[in-house]
Amino acid sequence: MYNKAVHYDNYNYEYNILKLINNPSIVKCQGYTEDSLNYYMELEYCVTGDLSKCFWQNKNSHVNIVLTVLVH
């Protein structure tokens, strides 16, 4: 969810990038909806839940190891 008044530039930038990406390793952006205050991205369903859950469940995964090194 992006507040229209505060995050329009961030939303527009992210949406335009995500709608162009077609990679099986990246959740696809199917479109967006909006109301008077917010934009909502419509993302592909991810069976494993959100990305943070996936990382915590797979603490020894290569992706998690790389992220841990980058963050610390």
Structural domain range at position 26: 2-71
Total structural domains within the chain: 1
- CATH number, position 67: 3.30.200
Query: What local confidence, expressed as pLDDT, does residue 23 receive?
Result: 83
Average pLDDT for 4-27: 85
> How far apart (Å, rounded) are the C-alpha atoms in residues 24 and 34?
27
pLDDT tens by residue, 34-62: 999 999 999 888 776 666 666 666 666 55
> How far apart (Å, rounded) are the C-alpha atoms in residues 7 and 10?
5
> How far apart (Å, rounded) are the C-alpha atoms in residues 62 and 66?
6
Provide the H-helix boundaries in the chain: 4-18, 51-57, 62-71
- Tokens 């959740």 sit on residue: 27
